[in-house]
Structure 1
C-alpha cells in the first residue's frame, strides 16, 4: 500500500471511529447521570467524575490527538519507510481506536440508568477485557500492515582500516541519552516516594502495587537503555547496554560479513531503545540519538545497528578484521 493509500485508510477509519465516539453517547444521553463516574480506585469504586460534555471532549482528545499524529506520519514522516514503522503505525491506528471505544463503552455501560455517579462500580474484568481487545486488534493489524521486508543497504565503499601483519587494535566508544537517564532517575524517585507513602499509610491497596510495578519497569527500562558502550577488537563487536555494560551483545568477527556507517533517526526505526525484528534476516537498531550509526551485516543476512559516536572508525577497524579473516 502506498503512502497516499495509508493516509486515505487512516482518514476513513478515523472519521468512522470519531463518529462512533460522538454518536453512541448522544444516543444514550437521556439514560445517563450528569455528571458521570469517570475514574475508579483499585477496587472498582468510583472516585472521580466529569460532566457529560467534559467526558465526551476528553474521549475525543484521547483518540483525536493520536489520530492526527498518525495522519501526519502517513503524509510526511519517514516512519512508514521501514517495515517496523509500518507495522507499528497500523497496529497503533487500530489498537488505539479499540482502546478509545472500549474505554468510552465501559464508562457508559457502568453509568447507564443510574441516578447518581457514585453508584457506578467498574468490574475489573471490564478493564482487562478492553486492554486485551486493544492488543488483540493492534498486533494482527501491525503484522498484516507491515508490508514486505526492507531492502538491504549496500554501501558502495565501506570504510576499512589497514593493519600491519600481526597488528592488533581496539576501538571503544560510548553514547548516552540524557532523556532516558532522566527517566530512570524520575522513576526511581517515584518508586521511593510510593514506598514511603505505603509505609506511612497515605497510600494502600492495589494502587501501591500498580504504582510500584509501573515505576519499577520504567526505572529498569531507563537504566538499561540510557547508555551504550561499543567495543571493536579482533574478537568482533561487543555492545554493552546501560551504565555498567554488563548486559552485552557480542557478534564474533567470523559471523560478520561487513560493516559501514549510516545516518538514521528515531522516526526511521520506530523510536528510541531497541527497535527492529530479530532473526536471520531481521534488522535491529539500538537507537539512543539520531545521527551516525555503526551497522553490521551478519553472514546470515541480518543487520544490527547501534547509534554511537565515531562510528566510521569502528566500522573501518571491524572491516579490517573481517578482511584479515577472509584472507587467512
Structure 2
C-alpha cells in the first residue's frame, strides 16, 4: 500500500511523472538525431485537414515540442497525485496522463516525419497513422501503470474529539449516513461557460484539433461545480458525476469534524478542488460547510447544503471517530446524543 506524504501520494506521482519524462526524453533524442534532415524552416502547425500552414526554425520547434510534452504531462501527473483524491480518480489520472503525453509526442513526430529529407516543408501533410500507432501502443502500459496506483492509506490522527464538539454516538452505533448535494450558483456556471466558449473560439481559429481537448476540459470543470457529499461509517466522501468518488476521508484520517456557518471560497484558494500546505478543499460557493482536522495541522473543507446538515455530519463523523478502538470516550457529547442520522 502506498502512503501519502503531505499533500501528494508519492507512488502515484512517480507512476505519472516517470513515463512523461521518458517520453519527452525519447522525443528530444529523436529530434536531435533527425534535425539535420529537416527543412528550414520546418512546418510547426497544421490545419484541420492535416496540411501544414505554419512554420518556424528547427531549434525553436524542437524546444516547443519537448516543452509542450514535458510541461503538459508533468502538470497532469502532479494534479492527479493529490493524496486526498479517490484511488479511482488517481488511477484514471495516471492512465490519462500517459495517453495525453504520448498523444502530444506522437502529434509532433507525425508532423515532422513526413518532412524528413525534404527541401521544403511546403505541402507536407501530417501522418495520422503514426498518431494512432503511438497512442495505441501506449494503451497497455497506461492501463498497467494505472493498476499500480495504491489505494489511499490515510494518515492517522489523534482520536480525541475537542471538548464541546457535537457527537452523535447513537447515530454512529446505528451506522447512519447523512447525504447532501452541493452546487455552484448560476453566476459561476455562466462565468465558466463564457470563459470556455471564448477559449473554444480562439483555439478553433488556431487549430481545430485542440477543440476536443478544450471540450473535455470544459466538461471536467462543469462536473467539479456540483457534487454529492456523504458522511457515513466509511468517513466523508465527495462524489462528482453521480458515482465518481473525487475525495475520500476515512474515519482514521481525521481528528475531528466541525460545522461552519460560512465557508468562503477565497479562504481556500478559490472555487472547485484546491490543495495547499494548509490541506485540501472542495468549495463550490460561499455558504455552510464542514471542516475536518487532519494530520500535521492540515484541514479538509467542503460545502454542505445547509448549516443543519453541516452540524449533523460533524456530529455523526465525530461519533464514528469515538467508536474507533483506542478513542477517548465521553469528550463533550453536547447536543449529539439527541441527533438522529438519516439512513441512506
TM-score for both structures, normalised by structure 1: 0.53
| Runs (5+) with no aligned partner, structure 1 | 164-169, 198-202, 233-238, 242-246, 250-256, 266-270, 274-284, 296-304
* Partner of residue 57, structure 1: 63
8 Å contact from structure 1 (residues 294, 312) kept in 2 = no
Distance 1:62 1:49, change over 3 A: same
User: Which whole-Å CA distance do the structure 2 matches of 1:210 and 1:9 have between them?
Assistant: 26
Shift of 1:83: 6.0
User: Which whole-Å CA distance do the structure 2 matches of 1:11 and 1:217 have between them?
Assistant: 22
Shift of 1:104: 3.1
User: Which whole-Å CA distance do the structure 1 matches of 2:21 and 2:179 have between them?
Assistant: 53
Correspondence for 1:22 among 25, 28, 37 = 28
* Partner of residue 116, structure 1: 120
Distance 1:149 1:130, change over 3 A: same
* Partner of residue 330, structure 2: none
User: Which whole-Å CA distance do the structure 2 matches of 1:210 and 1:66 have between them?
Assistant: 14
8 Å contact from structure 1 (residues 187, 219) kept in 2 = yes
* Partner of residue 147, structure 1: 150
Q: Does 1:186 align with 2:195?
A: yes
Correspondence for 2:108 among 99, 104, 119 = 104
8 Å contact from structure 2 (residues 183, 226) kept in 1 = yes
* Partner of residue 321, structure 1: 340
Distance 1:171 1:48, change over 3 A: closer
Q: Does 1:33 align with 2:32?
A: no
User: Which whole-Å CA distance do the structure 1 matches of 2:340 and 2:143 have between them?
Assistant: 41
Q: List aligned pairs for 1:207-218, cutoff 5 A.
A: 207=208, 211=211
For each residue in 1:208-255, what CA deviation from the matched residue of structure 2 results, as whole angstroms up to 9, or x when unmatched? x984x66665555544542458799xxxxxx998xxxxx978xxxxxx
Correspondence for 2:82 among 61, 73, 79 = 79
- Partner SS for 2:44: strand
User: Which whole-Å CA distance do the structure 2 matches of 1:153 and 1:100 have between them?
Assistant: 40
- Partner SS for 1:38: strand
User: Which whole-Å CA distance do the structure 2 matches of 1:123 and 1:109 have between them?
Assistant: 8
User: Which whole-Å CA distance do the structure 2 matches of 1:47 and 1:119 have between them?
Assistant: 9
User: Which whole-Å CA distance do the structure 1 matches of 2:188 and 2:63 have between them?
Assistant: 31
Distance 1:108 1:148, change over 3 A: same
TM-score for both structures, normalised by structure 2: 0.51
Shift of 1:151: 4.5
User: Which whole-Å CA distance do the structure 2 matches of 1:174 and 1:104 have between them?
Assistant: 42
8 Å contact from structure 1 (residues 38, 46) kept in 2 = yes
Shift of 1:88: 5.6
User: Which whole-Å CA distance do the structure 2 matches of 1:172 and 1:10 have between them?
Assistant: 33
* Partner of residue 138, structure 1: 142
* Partner of residue 282, structure 1: none
* Partner of residue 236, structure 1: none
* Partner of residue 246, structure 2: none
Q: Which structure's relative contact order is higher, taking Cα pairs within 8 Å and 6+ residues apart?
A: 2
Shift of 1:119: 2.7
